[in-house]
Structure 1
Amino acid sequence: MMLAREFVRNQNARITDFSTNEADTPLIVQFGANNEVDLARAAKMIMPYTDGIGLNCGCPIKEQVREGIGAALMTDPERVASMVRAVKATCGPEFCVEVKIRIHSDLQETVRFARLVEDAGADYITVHGRRKTQRSSEPANWEAIKLIKESVKCPVVANGDAFTMDDVNKIVELTGVDGVMSARGILANPALFSGYNKTPWGAIELFWDYVTSYGLPFRLTQHHFSEMVELEFTRKQKRSLNESNNLPELLDWFDARFDLKRRGEPGFGERVEFPWKSTYHERELDNELNENASLNLASDLASVHLAS
């Protein structure tokens, strides 16, 4: 989510927050906004580089909610409808506008919300099946999403708890939606929708290629890699990755541990299993096992001491 107000007013925000290229399509750019002027201006500015925009009405972060952005908009469907109409009036009826929402305790409020934004011209609606106050540890409400799908004519996309293709297929079966969105799942495994149950090594090499070709702020790059290796790394290995302080240092970290191919090399972006340099992997695992054993021994000794 990019803030429409900052995108319009600040060139540094535009340069930092957004980059693309002609091959990056279809592309929907998500904005956070609390008024039609900022959103319409942001949409107009970004229109030449994207296929459409999304309006985030689901972000529960307190700072955004205090500004009337994200989930704060769930109590003001008329304002959201006004923003959708403003973008359509500014960018034309063919320019795609998506609205991402959460659900209310009273689902009839959500139905009314969805119908209002559909009537305003929204091309599709993404529904996160949780209320604003619910944590991600609580299951998404598929019955609520099904109700929204049955209450509007435009396409509906379900969001929540999609970590594998089995999850995706189950969500579609339970709700009848037109599509499924993944957030945490796709961060941990960018190849989720290709049917992989964890990040294949080829995705790591491709992401390195994109980062070094097109640029990305270092800490964001580091965060993405940290998410992508969650199922492969031990806690200590992940901590070691996150101790890198800049992009060259992070690249050296990967090169020291893996056979990291570059574009143009045979097999680039094709492998599934992580190609550990075996001696490095075994040494790190041995060190972690020894460290855990030492911690367990210290804990046992402390318990004996307390018991005595």
Structure 2
Amino acid sequence: MRLGEFCREHPVFLAPMAGVTDLPYRLLCKEQGCDVMCTEMISAKALFYKSKNTRALLMSEPEERPIAVQLFGSEPELMAEMAASIEEEFDWIDVNMGCPVPKVVNNGEGSALMKNPSLVSQIVEAMAKKLKKPLTVKIRAGFDDSCRNAVEIAKRIEAAGAAAVAVHGRTREQYYSGKADWTIIRQVKDAVSIPVIGNGDIFCAADALRMTEETGCDGVMVARGAKGNPWLFREIRALFSGEPLPERPTHLEIREMILRHARLQLRYKGEYTGMREMRKHLAWYTTGCPHASALRGRANAVETMEDLERLVEEFFPEKPINI
């Protein structure tokens, strides 16, 4: 699969997830073998109005590359102008047409665009003409069961000049419930000639391999399966490379990853914000561990790096234990 200067067989993407895939966590996933990063979803309007919070979301580091920036909006010219204004900072631009959140959908953005194919074409065409770097688009299977139009939308995206399309095998109506329909990814792959990236229900390395085999997709995109589990990328990479599957992390590996994550949060966001954001990550990292519910309860009181270090070192034994 090729996107601009990036070329790799069966690349693995980290899906943009608001409040999850920030700079600190992307750095950890990259170290574990993820091929392609993407910023959290950014509003083109917020970028236009120079929102301070938006500028923070655009932060990246050279070791992350290749990295895309994901924009959302519904105004073709504004989307094109804002994409062009930041494209030099990234390897390509991605457009979100899959977000199911009501405040986005009710504004005619995100997955609401699946109901407006002509506007999809206008947005992609305006952006593709304005940009020098590749443009990709992330879509869903459709808006609801009466509008499962991913194939039509993907064809329009290709015709308008996009370089690749990512397909999440759920409708907007499903949010993240039920089971992702991978057959729609296969149908999109059969219908377009640009690369297709499959997304939905990749929670282990075997899922990634099975999606590739069943759909023929050119790359896979991992979303919720990566929460608290950056090791998933080394496992997928090993399976794709024909190497033995690595052992799951030990208690000590989990402890060290949490502490490294927290130090990165401290570096980039400061103690007040960084430690509060680590609370949810602690819950994800310890899912399935003994006494995890007790740790989650206490994690809500973590305010300083010292608090977090004390809690984590108390929770995890010093002697390595496989889990």
In the other structure, the counterpart of 2:296 is 238
The residue type paired with residue 317 of structure 2 is W
1:161 to 185, 192, 201: 201
The residue type paired with residue 237 of structure 1 is L
Q: Which has the higher strand share?
A: 2
Greater shift, 124-133 or 227-236, is seen at 227-236
- Is 1:150–2:190 an aligned residue pair? yes
User: Whose Rg is larger?
Assistant: 1
The higher-RCO structure (CA 8 Å, 6+ apart) is: 2
The residue type paired with residue 281 of structure 2 is H
Measure, in 1, the Cα distance between the counterparts of 2:249 and 2:58: 27
In the other structure, the counterpart of 1:306 is none
Measure, in 1, the Cα distance between the counterparts of 2:279 and 2:212: 33
In the other structure, the counterpart of 1:229 is 286
Deviation at 1:70, TM superposition (A): 0.6
- Deviation sequence 1:98-123 (CA, Å, 0-9, x none): 11111133687321110110111111
Distance of aligned partners of 1:7 and 1:148 in 2 relative to their CA distance in 1, 3 Å threshold: same
What fraction of aligned residue pairs are identical, expressed as a percent? 28
The answer to whether the Cα contact below 8 Å between 1:190 and 1:228 also exists between their aligned partners in 2 is no
In the other structure, the counterpart of 1:3 is 43
Matched positions, count = 259
- What CA RMSD, in Å, does the superposition of the two structures yield over aligned residues? 2.4
1:103 to 141, 148, 153: 141
In the other structure, the counterpart of 2:84 is 44
TM-score, scaled relative to structure 2 = 0.73
2:166 to 126, 143, 151: 126
In the other structure, the counterpart of 2:127 is 87
Q: Which has the higher helix share?
A: 1
The residue type paired with residue 124 of structure 1 is A
- The answer for unaligned runs of 5 or more in structure 2 is 1-40, 236-245
The residue type paired with residue 188 of structure 1 is G
SS at match of 2:46: helix
The answer to whether the Cα contact below 8 Å between 2:165 and 2:196 also exists between their aligned partners in 1 is yes
Deviation at 1:258, TM superposition (A): 4.2
Runs of 4+ in 1 over 4 A off after TM superposition: 196-200
Distance of aligned partners of 1:214 and 1:27 in 2 relative to their CA distance in 1, 3 Å threshold: same
Deviation at 1:150, TM superposition (A): 0.9
SS at match of 2:171: coil
Distance of aligned partners of 1:135 and 1:47 in 2 relative to their CA distance in 1, 3 Å threshold: closer
Greater shift, 125-134 or 195-204, is seen at 195-204
